[in-house]
């Protein structure tokens, strides 16, 4: 399978920060990610890899047999993220995302795709993976803030059933922009579960063909 979601590790942080700089007007310092991975037991961060990308022209050895990897098979993501093993394939990371669990709410803190890999369904793959994690850790709702001008991201969230629930005025310090607050319905409701399964099936089909 070409696109693979992995748990973010400390070794991934330099590449994550590179992508973040390309994706956001303002960024976290690398130490913030390291702190999240090391100290925040409620945080879950993922990276998306493109297995076709190799570093220095050397094919990246598969980390585990292909047959063990399936879209949306995520139990391996739920361990802690403190590993410091060096990953040889940093260049293969093309996106990252994360959430915090707060009681029964999953708060999406970040989601970003490298600009060269957008509009292929991969941001959606990361969002669906975060929602899968939300289910696995017992969240009942998923929420996030998004810039009022960020229509691409808002469209993505609306596709997955997020609805506007208010504004945080001047939330973003770089330009004083307002944030739209968005929430899903209860993700365990039969209607949401069904919609989510349908979206994931369509996405698996789309990505399986790439």
Ligand X SMILES: CC(C)(COP(=O)(O)OP(=O)(O)OC[C@H]1O[C@@H](n2cnc3c(N)ncnc32)[C@H](O)[C@@H]1OP(=O)(O)O)[C@@H](O)C(=O)NCCC(=O)NCCS
Rounded to whole angstroms, the maximal C-alpha distance in the chain is 49
User: Least CB distance from residue 171 to ligand X, whole Å?
Assistant: 11
Beta 105-113 vs 141-147: how paired, if at all? parallel
**3-state SS, residue 178:** coil
The tokens describing 142, both together, are 């998923």
How long is the chain? Answer: 210
Nearer to ligand X, 149 or 188 (CB): 149
Q: Which of residues 40-59 bind ligand X (CB under 6 A)?
A: none
**Residues 89, 123: contact at Cβ < 8 Å?**
no
Name which position in 156, 181, 199, 207 contacts ligand X (CB under 6 A).
Answer: 156
Site for ligand X contains 155 (CB under 6 A): yes
Q: Is 112 helix (H, G, I), strand (E, B) or coil?
A: strand
Q: Which is nearer to ligand X, 67 or 119 (CB)?
A: 119
Q: Of the candidates 38, 63, 150, 204, which one interacts with ligand X according to CB under 6 A?
A: 150
The C-alpha atoms of residue 120 and residue 140 are separated, in whole angstroms, by 28
Question: CB under 6 A: which stretch of 40-48, 150-158, 165-173, 184-192 binds ligand X?
Answer: 150-158
Write the interaction track for ligand X spanning residues 79-118; mark x where CB under 6 A is met and - where it is not.
--------------------------------xxx----x
């Amino acid at each position: 399978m070409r696109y693979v979601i992995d748990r973010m590790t400390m070794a991934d942080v330099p590449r994550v920060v590179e992508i973040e700089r390309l994706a956001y007007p303002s960024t976290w310092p690398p130490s913030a990610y390291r702190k999240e991975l090391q100290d925040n037991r409620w945080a879950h961060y993922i990276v998306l890899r493109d297995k076709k990308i190799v570093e220095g022209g050397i094919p990246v050895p598969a980390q585990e047999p292909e047959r063990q990897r399936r879209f949306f098979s995520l139990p391996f993501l739920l361990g802690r993220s403190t590993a410091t093993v060096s990953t040889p394939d940093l260049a293969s990371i093309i996106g990252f995302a994360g959430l915090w669990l707060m009681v029964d709410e999953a708060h999406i803190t970040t989601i970003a795709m490298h600009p060269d890999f957008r509009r292929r369904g991969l941001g959606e793959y990361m969002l669906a993976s975060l929602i899968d994690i939300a289910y696995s850790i017992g969240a009942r709702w998923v929420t996030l803030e998004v810039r009022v001008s960020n229509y691409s991201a808002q469209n993505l969230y609306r596709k997955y059933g997020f609805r506007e629930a208010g504004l945080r005025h001047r939330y973003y310090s770089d330009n004083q922009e307002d944030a739209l607050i968005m929430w899903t319905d209860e993700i365990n409701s039969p209607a949401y579960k069904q919609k989510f399964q349908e979206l994931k099936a369509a996405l698996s089909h789309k990505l399986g063909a790439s």
